Amino acid sequence: MDARVLDTALETVEAILAIVQAAPQDLMWQERYASEDELVRDLRDHADRLRRGDASRLPDLRHLLLPTGSLCEIAMSSGWPEAYTTLANRLDAASA
């Protein structure tokens, strides 16, 4: 796995974590996360693995960031669609 992809993925997850921890998140329009705590735990797990160079959950992260994926739905309903789009596009570009 290209180190640039892992670095970009980690930066993406860390940015999303900062956003979701800064304000309440509306989880109503997605089915993956039952609570904000579950969302934060999952994002922290992604970050921890990426810090270790473990890319095993990278496909899952990409899936979360797809249009109409869980993070897209959370971002749209929680007021950070521009940040979501920028972050998702950055990871896509690094992965191409």
Q: What is the predicted pLDDT for the residue at 66?
A: 95
Question: 38 is written with which tokens?
Answer: 């579950």
Q: What is the predicted pLDDT for the residue at 96?
A: 82
Question: 10 is written with which tokens?
Answer: 């980690």
Q: What is the predicted pLDDT for the residue at 2?
A: 87
Q: What is the extent of the structural domain holding 61?
A: 3-95
Q: What is the predicted pLDDT for the residue at 89?
A: 97
Q: What is the predicted pLDDT for the residue at 34?
A: 98
Find all residues with CB under 8 Å of 23, minimum gap 6, and list them: 78, 79
How crowded is the C-beta side of 83, counted as CA atoms within 13 Å? 18
Number of structural domains found in the chain = 1
Mean pLDDT of residues grouped by 10 in the chain (96 residues)? 92 98 97 98 98 97 95 98 98 91
Dmax (CA) for the chain in angstroms is 35
The residue type of 28 is M
Stated pTM of the model = 0.95
